[in-house]
Structure 1
Amino acid sequence: MDFRPAPGRPMSDSEAAAEAERILRTEFRNQPQTAAPAPVPTSFRDETPLPAFGSTPPVLQPETRTVLAWAAGTAVASIGIGAGITGAGCGAWLVLHLAAVTLGSVSQHTEQTARGFFGRITNR
């Protein structure tokens, strides 16, 4: 670039705009205007025809997977334990729900027990 501002004096807005316009005109004067580039495909579809089925007969593929006895037993035991714990949890919820054990009744019972151990509570 051949522009050097005067030392100690900043350019005004109009001077800066004129200088920017001059630089753009001189730098991009000889470049041809080009159109936007053609879009580049980002996928490919194979249009070749599929091969015809051959005359080879199907081959028997025997099942060879086996499950070890201890693995099957562990799986069954895990399911049984999970079902049992779930049943016990549902039963406990039902008992507590039907007995109407709420936080208020638990705290009242705790307060009565504390009075029995420590005498009369006088914070009221």
Structure 2
Amino acid sequence: MNQTTAMLFLLSIVTATATHASDADKLNGAFNQLCDKMEVCAMEQMGKEENLTPQMRSMIEGMIDGMCKNMMNMEDVAQYSELVDPAVACIDSMTSQSCAELEGDNLQTPACKEYERQAESFRTELNGG
């Protein structure tokens, strides 16, 4: 699923060892909203499938229910606090997209481009560049 890959990429840089509650809350809130949107889109897509048996639908629904909320918990973000607001803006921009846009191969919002630019700059600084 394209949006899952995008989310993991977006959030992979913000896990750290120190805790900063408001940044973590902000990031968790945005991430959870995107997860909810993705679940709605996945259920919508499943509803379009005609060849699914009731057992298959039940199994898929179970997998969809809470699929990404269990993937990550953004509690440890203090070391990367300057990336939290751009990451949240990117996640929010993705959440505002339609399901069709989220399922597309080229989802790249201006906010996500800015986040990627800042994250790359941050990585360069961390690596002594």
- TM-score, normalisation: structure 1: 0.26
Give the greater-gyration-radius structure (CA): 1
User: Structure with the greater relative contact order (CA < 8 A, sep ≥ 6): 1 or 2?
Assistant: 2
Instruction: Point out the structure with the larger helix share.
Output: 2
